[in-house]
Each structure stands twice: as C-alpha cells, then as structure tokens.
Structure 1
Amino acid sequence: MKSKVRSYALLAVLPLLPFVGPVQAAEAADPYNGRSPYKVINGRACATNGRVVATQEIVRGDTVYGTIHVRRNLSCNTSWAFVNFGAKLGAGEYGNALIRRSGPHGTHRLAYSCDTANGNKRVITGQTTCYTPMMTRNYSMWAEGYLYRKNSAGSWVTYAFGKADRYFR
C-alpha cells in the first residue's frame, strides 16, 4: 500500500516541475540569442558584418518620424532590430524597437526590445537610435518601431508606428 501512495505523490509533484522542451534547450545553448550584437562572442561581433534586410518607415498619417530596420548576420545566424529617428527626440517623447519571432502555427514565441537586457535602452530626449538584443533566426521574424508621446492626461501613448514585416523565414 505504501508504494501506491509514493507513486501518487510523485505524480502530483511532476506537473509542478519546470519543463524545458527541445526548442527552449536549443535556445539556451545558443551563445548569441539575447546578447548584444556589438559584444564580441566567440571572437565575433555580429554587428560588424550585419546587413539590413528589411526596413519600414515609422509614420503617423503622412508624416515620417523614423525608420525601423531588421539587421541580420548570416555567420551568427541572428537578427536584431534597429530604430533611427533621424533627429533628436524632444521632451515628452521616447522611441523603441522590437524584434519578434513567431513559432510554428503563428504562435508568438519570443520578443526583445531596446529595453531588454543587452539592448541599449529606449531612445530618450536628445537621442536618435536604439537596438535590440540578437535573436536566433527560426520561423518568421519581424521588427516594429514605436514613437511614444505623452497625451493631455500625462500618459504615454503610441504616437507613430512602423512594422518591417517584409521579412523571410
């Protein structure tokens, strides 16, 4: 009778244990995923020979406020987002970039912004650019660029947006 009680106790605890699937384990083992494209990893800085593979303007109506870029390095097998507003942002504004990757069947699986660890933080007053950490290329990827402004109530709202979605698998 005691052996049955132990078996049931073990079955009750199993769902509480963390599960690491094959995709998560592979990402954890990747030395570039989630790291800065400007940091030297395994003797290579991926930003050095990264190239722009997709761009889109950050717009509101007919006004262009900046550009969002997807940059890619084939030898590192990574991509990252880079946003450029072209002019210094003023008081009451900030900008950010986001790189997203969806998994099979379109499920969102991973996203990094300039504010994520190993990004260089959001674009604030007096700045023009920021970049996200690198993401290993799997499935569909795209980048989004945002310009935020304070509204009359003092809350931050998305003022202009761009999505570089002409990207490939």
Structure 2
Amino acid sequence: MKPKSLFVLLAVLTLLSFVAPAQAAEAADPYNGQSPYKVINGRSCNSDGSIHDTEEIVRGDSVYGTIQFRWNLRCNTAWAFVNFGTKLSAGESGNALIRRAGPNGSHALAFSCDTAGGNKHVQAAQTTCYTPMMSRKYSMWVEGYLYHKNSAGAWVTHAFGTTRWVPGS
C-alpha cells in the first residue's frame, strides 16, 4: 500500500471512530423523530413537557400567531409548536421547524410539521401544528411561518417568528 493511501485510510478510520458513536447514540434514542404525543416506554413526552420559550410570528407591526420551543427534560427532547389562534383561511398555510446545530455550530438537523412524527402543516380551517421530537443537544431553535399565495399562485412567506435554546440556558 502506498504511504499516501495508508494515510487516507488511517484518517478515514480515525474520523469514523468519532462519528459512529454519535450516530449510534442518536439512533438509540427512542424519542428522536417521534411524535411528542406518542407513548414510548410508557411515557408521552408532551404530557409532562413544558414550554421553554414563546415568540410571536410577525410581519411589521402585525402579529399572526406564536411559535413555541417545547421540551421534556426526562425525555431529553424538544419540538416546535405553532399556533395561529384563529383558523387559517383559503390561500394561507403555516408550518413550524425545529433546527439543531452540530458540535461545531454548523446546521445539523431539521424537522418540520410535515416530517414523519409531526402532524402536517397548518392548512385552511386549522390553527396549529407540531414537529416531531429531536434529541436536545448543542444549540437548537424553532421557527414559525405563515405563508400566503401571491397573485401568481406561488406560496411566499408572509410572517415569521423564531426562538432558540442554548445548552445551559
């Protein structure tokens, strides 16, 4: 084996020794990617979860709803919950996202209400949606969106809100 090939092989093996345990731990988490309302190991994480922070979904001076960063310390999970307060009308849609940074601050993972384990985006005549749960680690934030159809029939962001959690806060 050439020295350069051996160096590359050793570098890849060293990298895998750091990545594989993290991926295995994430895969072993029974709550990650699941509905907060699903009973897992005899627990529904939503039933004894709490609201860490709530922010308004706004455009200019107008408030359209709220985005909540919800979590459960015993499940070690977090999820997003969006509430528009009143039913959306035709031509409106809403969604929530939960995002998590990686160990170096880069974007690592995101779930929306449309991700399996969520209850789908907010449609006309609906008011709320939630994302699946995500294991709490690194910095995390949630985003809430209200979309309107424009004159060309395309969905565009009409209002937005966000809140975050940083370990230790």
TM bracket (short chain): 0.7 to 0.9
Give 1:4-23 correspondences, 5 Å limit: 21-23=20-22
Query: Are 1:118 and 2:117 counterparts?
Result: yes
The CA deviation string for residues 9-31 of structure 1, in whole angstroms up to 9 with x for no partner, is xx99xx9xxx7622211111100
TM-score, normalised by the number of residues in structure 1: 0.87
- CA shift, 1:55, in A, is 1.1
Structure 2 CA distance for aligned equivalents of residues 29 and 127 of structure 1: 34
The CA deviation string for residues 103-146 of structure 1, in whole angstroms up to 9 with x for no partner, is 12211111100000010000000000000000000100110000
TM-score, normalised by the number of residues in structure 2: 0.87
AA at the equivalent of 2:145: Y
Give 1:91-106 correspondences, 5 Å limit: 91-106=90-105
Query: Are 1:79 and 2:78 counterparts?
Result: yes
- How many corresponding residue pairs? 155
2:149 corresponds in structure 1 to 150
SS of equivalent to 1:26:
helix
Structure 2 CA distance for aligned equivalents of residues 90 and 21 of structure 1: 46
Give 1:35-74 correspondences, 5 Å limit: 35-74=34-73
Bigger radius of gyration, 1 or 2?
A: 1
SS of equivalent to 1:28:
helix
Structure 1 CA distance for aligned equivalents of residues 104 and 25 of structure 2: 19
CA RMSD of aligned residues (A): 1.6
For structure 1, the 5+ residue unaligned runs are none
The CA deviation string for residues 34-66 of structure 1, in whole angstroms up to 9 with x for no partner, is 000000000000000110001110000000000
Structure 2 CA distance for aligned equivalents of residues 87 and 101 of structure 1: 29
SS of equivalent to 2:153:
coil
AA at the equivalent of 1:97: A
AA at the equivalent of 2:123: I
**Aligned with residue 168 of structure 1, among 160, 166, 169:** 166
